[in-house]
Structure 1
Amino acid sequence: MDHEALNAEMRGLREQLAGITDTAVAAADGLLIAADTGEGIDVDSLAALAAAGLGLSQRTAEATGRGELRRTVSYGSRGCAAVYAVGDTALLVVLGDEGLDVDRLHQETQPMLRRVDAILTDKA
């Protein structure tokens, strides 16, 4: 796996879209693969929690006949956390402040998710 390319993708997303504060890529089982975060973020816990939340959301979508899960977004009083499935084996976590345009985030992440999946599966 090309860690440099993965880190470049995460940095690029942060630079491209105002309001993103932190990003991370984790395996579906919650193990951290890479992170682009500031101080104060426990990246291992973030990866594990994101994987657990994504797994529950995927099961909920499946059990209710809503199709394949695209993403989850949790909103807090100081921003949000978006979690995207990357293929079947990984996930992308994006943390944002109150100024993050979440609709634009959803649009901007789609091509990035394909590139990250290619990096993780060595198809890049």
Structure 2
Amino acid sequence: MTKEAVLAELDVLREQVPGVLEAVVASADGLLVAADSEGSRPEVLAALAATTLGLGRRAGYEVGMGGLHEVVVRCDRGYMVVYALREEGLLAVVADEGLDIPALHAGVGPTVERLADVLAEV
């Protein structure tokens, strides 16, 4: 899958889940792979998402909860949700306050699997 295919996956996610504003795919260490972004600096978002994912993994490990799937950050005006793409990377989704979290989780599953496969090939 090429960068264009990754961007197509992100476009589909934005179309299918109301409230999604932007998304980035990055390596586990925060290096940007691709971004569907209009408002933020995608390189900064990728780095922050990697840090968020790392903290979530560590917290899950410390409390004995097993492997991390996602971290949800809820703010006054919206959300940032970071999904683990296996150990290889992450998908960070920025959404407005109207986001339906269960709809996002339901819609993102196949996208996460396809993107994880892409990063595993690199």
Give 4+ residue runs of structure 1 displaced > 3 Å after superposition. Answer: none
**Contact 1:6/1:34, CA 8 A, preserved across alignment:** yes
Q: Give the match for residue 121 of structure 1.
A: 120
Q: Give the match for residue 33 of structure 1.
A: 33
Q: Are 2:58 and 1:59 aligned?
A: yes
Q: Give the match for residue 100 of structure 1.
A: 99
Point out where structure 1 has 5 or more consecutive residues left out of the alignment.
none
Q: Percent identity?
A: 43
Which secondary structure does the structure 2 equivalent of 1:121 belong to? helix
User: Which amino acid is 1:80 matched to?
Assistant: Y
State the shift of 1:89 in Å: 1.1
User: Which amino acid is 2:116 matched to?
Assistant: D
Q: Deviations over 1:12-65 (max 9, x none)?
A: 000111100000001100111100011x30111110011011101101101110
Point out where structure 2 has 5 or more consecutive residues left out of the alignment.
none
Which secondary structure does the structure 2 equivalent of 1:88 belong to? coil
**Contact 1:81/1:96, CA 8 A, preserved across alignment:** yes
Superposed CA RMSD? 1.3
CA–CA distance in structure 2, aligned partners of residues 34 and 16 of structure 1: 19
State the shift of 1:119 in Å: 2.0
State the shift of 1:120 in Å: 2.2
Q: Give the match for residue 3 of structure 2.
A: 3
Correspondences of 1:61-80 after superposition (within 5 Å): 61-80=60-79
Q: Deviations over 1:65-124 (max 9, x none)?
A: 01111100001111100000001110000000011101110111111111111222339x
Correspondences of 1:14-33 after superposition (within 5 Å): 14-33=14-33
Between Structure 1 and Structure 2, how many residues are aligned?
A: 122
